[in-house]
A and B are shown apart, each in its own frame.
Chain A
Amino acid sequence: MKRMIFSAILVLFVAGFGFANGQTEEGADSYPSKTIEFVVPASPGGGSDTLGRLLTDIIQKNDLVDGNIVVVNKPGGASAVGQQYVLGRDGNYTLFTMNAAHALAARANSGIDSMKFTPVAAVAMDNVLFLTGADSGYRSIDDVVSAAKGKPNQLTVGVADNLDQLCVAQINKSAGIELKGVYYDSASESNAALLGGHIDFSIANPNECIGQVRSGDIVPLATFNNERLEAPFADAPTFQELGYSDVEFQMFRSVMGGAGMSEEVQKFWSDVFAQVVETEQWKTQYIEKKMLDPKFMPADEYGPYHRQAAKRLQQDAQDIGLFD
């Protein structure tokens, strides 16, 4: 009797397993058949979090996907903890935010191969500015270069991560000077140090300094983009205009899928985000507000771009001895 009950349970179990398994098998029309996890490899409230939550909000408000999406924060290790978590999830049902800083940090730090993930779409380009305080006495990049010539490692630049450090290295190499990066936890901390006169320059995205630039407390000396930005940054020349042709940088912000995401699913999400970036909410709440470039790249374009960009960042970082 016992034996019979046991085998009955076993049969039920196997059947149940088979059934459950059948459910997760991907047919293109049944996708998605379970909840999608949108992983934010950073704490609530930061730039990646804002992006992740806005994207899911737009998708759900406009019914772009017939299914549930939850945002999961996995902060730590400059995105390494979040990426490690994604590696252990179902690739077809996991998305996460990526940007140039994360692409540089994660691989260098942990040996996580970012090529394992599936590029889905780049949703915007962020600009980078070179700033100084209103009372610093520097009015142009020429002032900076002539002050720094012959005084290596005297002038300081507040940087928030390795990516900013790379930007400093570009200037140094091109102008033949040695500005020194001082690490801060965030751009707002380094801007505070700039206002207090503790450092000479700082590097930040437009939305991180727009308030102080409009009030005149912080002055943008140049932009790393190859076109001038809109007001209030319109007076800041590009490094190219100034003759530093090899100083150029823009930071991509993108969405990646988990490891082993199938091609259909990758295409599915790429199409979804193509619709997202056309919505009014995206344009007003993200692009305009944060002063980003509305450059969208679908999966087939972003894939090769990501590979190239990540490789270049690694190479640059190695060249300036960041990982020694």
Chain B
Amino acid sequence: MNNFELLMQGFHTAFSLINLTVAIGGGILGLLVGATPGLGGVTGVALLLPMTFKMDPTTAIIFLSAIYFGNMYGGAYSGILLNIPGDSPAVMTALDGYPMSKQGKGGKALFAANVSSFVGGTFGIITLTIFGPVLANIGLKFGPAEITALILLALTSIGWLLGEEFSKGIVAAALGILLSTIGIDSMAGGMPRYTFGTVTLMGGISFIPLVIGMFGMTQVMELMKTKEKDSLTTGRRLSVRESLLDKSDVKRISLPILKGSVLGNFIGFLPGAGGTAASFLAYVFDKKTSKHGKDMGKGMIEGVAVSESANNAAAVGAFVPLLCLGIPGSATAVVLFGGLMMWGLQPGPLLFVEQSEFVWGLIGSMYIGNVACILIGLMIIPFLMSILKIPKGIIAPMIVVICIVGAYSINNSMFDVWFMIGAGVIAFILKNNNYPIPPILLAFVLAPMFEQSIRRAFTISNGSPLIFFQKPISAVLLGLTIFFLLSPLLVSVITKRKNRICEEKN
């Protein structure tokens, strides 16, 4: 049987009444969990996992993958509406989504987020269906040296993030790097760094309280600064019709969605990367390579599209190494890995052969889960939009409550709540002095990945930098990095020469 026939059989499995019911139920549950800041995909799936032990394995994984997909959709909503990203990949969505809400285009942003999530997710599922095992093996080629080179390449294109004042951007990025180094250094026998002897700091700073503080709390303080009593959209009523995407919108978002899907999916199946890095890098890539790039971050629909398509494509990408190799590529995949064993399946390269009904049932259910999520997502847009009509005096305290609950729930720790509030205050001061916030978060996500990869590479090579040039993939990536770094110089040399030739001609 070829893949197509197997998939059809998978659909047959997935289309039973019970499986459809759990797909829709899981989708709704996932949307709710995803939209709640602090409760991300990992926690959601981990907490609901025991519920599934009595189910048939296929039904169980359909339920969990619907929750997982719902999560990826839901994370965007609170980011767009309240500027509190529901999960970490939604940070980049909020960068453009929230300004859109303020401009009265919140409905459009939600619509675009749903559509992009759907396309990104579907793209990921199709590549999984056709190329699964091949892709998994390409992902394995990315070891410490290759990942280091990949991050270096990405870093060449983030100059824009630093904002108008270069030095302030550097300060912000340095702050992000500093925060990310706090905690136990797992690479050196568990040496604590910057913990000042306290046990609380040993666990390090969690990303979610940092983001909730720097986005949500700062948001509330901004709201309190102004004296208007209006709602976020200054009282204007939003109609559902306004939020539909018209032809020009579709045209604007189709290319970013394609970029986000391809890049996000690729990063998803690299070992140890994940949805957050995927949406960051796809956003940066789109900003660098498109005409609208310079306006991104000010409420461009393209920003929402590229970030959402990337993180959904990455979410599916993480399934590729899990199903094909038995190696979980993301935190949520680790939980599902545990689930597979509990249902009596053995994750590994033989899963496709020995449990083909299960695997194809799962892949079939991914298509169904994704369709269920977009239908639910589109239907609740009018309800979500009513949030935008709530007056500021009421919405501000509500946001504070959501922030506190979200920060607490990530590690069940009061420290995280205080840290979140502190981060909010500091971000507010920084923002009002023109220090940009995004570099802090980007540095916080990328710095640990970069540090671990480069240190692993140097451990393997006994400190010799040659390892980066001996491996073909990393050599190519480093070559590109150097090219991009030198390109402004080359451009100026060429234009100078041209000018000189022109002058000589005259």
B459 at interface by CB-CB < 8 Å: yes
Q: Are B184 and A78 in contact (CB under 8 A)?
A: yes
Q: Cβ of A75 and Cβ of B346 under 8 Å apart?
A: no
CA distance A105 to B341 in the complex (A): 27
Q: Is B6 an interface residue (CB 8 A)?
A: no
The residue that A211 contacts in the complex, of B187, B204, B349, with Cβ under 8 A, is B349
Q: Which residues of B contact A195 (CB under 8 A)?
A: 140, 325, 327
CB-based contact A74/B412 at 8 Å: yes
Residues of A within 8 A of B413 (CB): 74, 81
| One of A50, A77, A191 near B327 (C-beta < 8 A) | A191
In the bound assembly, the distance between CA atoms of A37 and B50 in angstroms comes to 18
**Whole-angstrom distance from the CB of A132 to the nearest CB of chain B?**
15
In the bound complex, residues from chain A placing their C-beta under 8 Å from that of B46 are 43-45, 49
Q: Is the CB of B184 within 8 A of A109?
A: yes
Q: Which of A46, A49, A211 contacts B326 (CB 8 A)?
A: A211
CB-defined contacts of B140 to chain A, threshold 8 Å? 192, 195-197
Do the beta carbons of B203 and A77 come within 8 Å of each other? yes
Q: Are A198 and B272 in contact (CB under 8 A)?
A: no
Known contacts A45-B46, A45-B334, A214-B348; decide if A285 and B271 are in contact (CB<8 Å).
no
B143 touches A198 (CB 8 A): yes
Interface residues of B in 445-460 (CB under 8 A from A): 452, 456, 459-460
| A66 contacts B by Cβ under 8 Å | no
Contact A189 B271 (CB under 8 A): yes
A57 — which chain B residues lie within 8 A by C-beta? Answer: 50
Residue from the list A80, A193, A210, A323 in contact with B199, Cβ < 8 A: A80
Interface digits, A276-290 against B, CB 8 Å rule (1 contact, 0 not)?
Answer: 000000000100011
Beta-carbon contact of A46 and B202 below 8 Å = no
Assess the B350–A80 pair: CB atoms within 8 A: no
A198 cross-chain contacts in B, Cβ below 8 A:
143-145, 460
Is B433 an interface residue, CB under 8 A from the partner? no
| Residue ID in chain A nearest B141 by CB atoms | A196
Cβ-based interface call for A100 (8 A) = no
Question: Among residues 179 to 201 in chain B, which have CB atoms less than 8 Å away from a CB atom of chain A?
Answer: 183-184, 186-190, 192, 199-200
Which chain A positions have C-beta within 8 A of B186?
78, 161, 183, 185
Bound-complex Cα distance A45 to B348 (A): 18
Contact status B184-A74, CB under 8 Å: no
Q: Cβ of A226 < 8 Å from any Cβ of B?
A: no
Contact, CB under 8 Å: B460 / A212:
no
Task: Give the complex CA separation of A112 and B412 in angstroms.
Answer: 21
Chain B residues lying within 8 Å of A74, measured Cβ to Cβ, are 411-413
Q: A80-B199, A192-B325, A212-B349 are in contact. Are A45 and B335 (CB under 8 A)?
A: yes
Query: Which residues of chain B in 310-366 are interfacial with respect to chain A, using CB atoms and an 8 Å cutoff?
Result: 321, 325-328, 331, 334-335, 337-338, 341-342, 344, 346-351
Partner of A323, one of B141, B189, B341, B342: B189
Chain A stretch 150-202: residues in CB contact (< 8 A) with chain B: 153-154, 156, 161-162, 165, 180, 182-186, 188-189, 191-193, 195-199
**B506 within 8 Å of A (CB atoms):** no
Complex contact B199–A192 (CB within 8 A): no
Q: How far is the CA of A79 from the CA of B85 in the complex (A)?
A: 28
Report B430 CB to chain A, min CB distance, Å. Answer: 26
Asked whether, in the complex, the Cβ of B142 is within 8 Å of the Cβ of A196, the reply is yes
Cβ of A46 and Cβ of B272 under 8 Å apart? no
Query: A156-B460, A182-B460, A210-B346 given. 12 additional CB < 8 A pairs?
Result: A45-B331, A75-B203, A81-B203, A109-B184, A154-B462, A162-B189, A162-B190, A191-B327, A193-B143, A196-B141, A211-B350, A212-B348
Q: Which residues of A contact B (CB under 8 A)?
A: 43-46, 49-50, 53, 57, 72-78, 80-81, 84, 105, 108-110, 112, 153-154, 156, 161-162, 165, 180, 182-186, 188-189, 191-193, 195-199, 207, 210-212, 214-215, 217, 285, 289-290, 317, 322-323
Q: Which residue numbers of B lie inside 8 Å of A, CB to CB?
A: 42-43, 45-47, 49-50, 140-145, 183-184, 186-190, 192, 199-200, 202-204, 271-272, 321, 325-328, 331, 334-335, 337-338, 341-342, 344, 346-351, 411-413, 452, 456, 459-460, 462
